Amino acid sequence: MSAYGHEMDREYSAQSILAGEGSETGSRYNSGAGIYMSSIAATVFISGLVTIGISVLSLLVALTVMLNSCQSRSSGVLEMYRNTDNYDYCRNFALHSELNSLNTEFFPAICKDINIRYVKDGQYKRDLNITVAIAEDFFSSIRPKNNGQDVVLMDADDFFTSETMYAKQLMYRKNKDGLHGTNEEANYFRLVFALKLYLKLQFGQWHLILLSRKPEKMRNNTVEYLKSVGCHGWSSLIMRMDSETQIDNEEYLSRERKRVEREGFRIKGVISSQMDALRGPCLGDRIFKLPYPIFRSSSKSGD
């Protein structure tokens, strides 16, 4: 081959090599600093950056939620301690009020709010249930003698609401729409648990004597009301004479208990939500104080 032919072959080979290099660099990225990256590697790299960004963002969100949760929990614990202190104070003040027959005007203002929570949050209902269970256990552990002289005294006024004598309307409203007033709810629960205990004692063949602060002139309405709520079959219903309405409740109830014992009955227990029925002589073997809402008014005579 001539020298000219060899020279042409070399030029053709060089062009082929250059053409091959040019086609390869067409699928690479030049960073300008001499670093080359294929399209697949670039995609993987960018995806990794996005994943890391999302992970960091998620971590920041999680930390923010945790910090807010801890702050809310700390606030809740602090508020719980505050509420517990207020609740304990009002409960003790309520006991002081009952022992001294104080009216609502002596109650601190904060106790009014505590009283609403006491009823609305269900604690009053739980306290009633516990007290009734204790009384049921006691009377289930003993038996009345066959001569009918063993009796249990119950406060008839615990079956009443303070606003009305028509308990069926109260029960209907409870079942239909619910009771929205704190006093209404408290009266309803007290009625339900007092009646539950009454029926339990009656089933245990205890002779029941009901004492009411109401005057004798209201006997017919009182009897009708008690029967309407399922309270019937009592041995006696004691009501004060119309001329005795000005007598102090505690004095009146003490006198009636004395009279019961003078007639030969043995008082095995006295049950009431009010302190005036649980003080004085002739209280029998055991007394049971049904819970009452923290904030309430007290009266010196019958309704």
Q: What is the mean pLDDT of each successive set of 10 residues along the chain, which is 303 residues long? A: 49 46 44 59 74 80 73 46 73 85 80 86 94 97 92 96 52 49 85 97 96 95 94 96 90 97 97 95 97 62 45
Q: What is the pTM of this model?
A: 0.68
Helix axes 110-120, 39-100, angle to 10 degrees: 110
Q: What is the pLDDT of residue 162?
A: 56
The four Cα atoms 229, 232, 234, 239 give a dihedral, to 10 degrees, of 50
Q: What pLDDT is attached to residue 26?
A: 42
In the chain, the largest separation of any two C-alpha atoms, in whole Å, equals 155
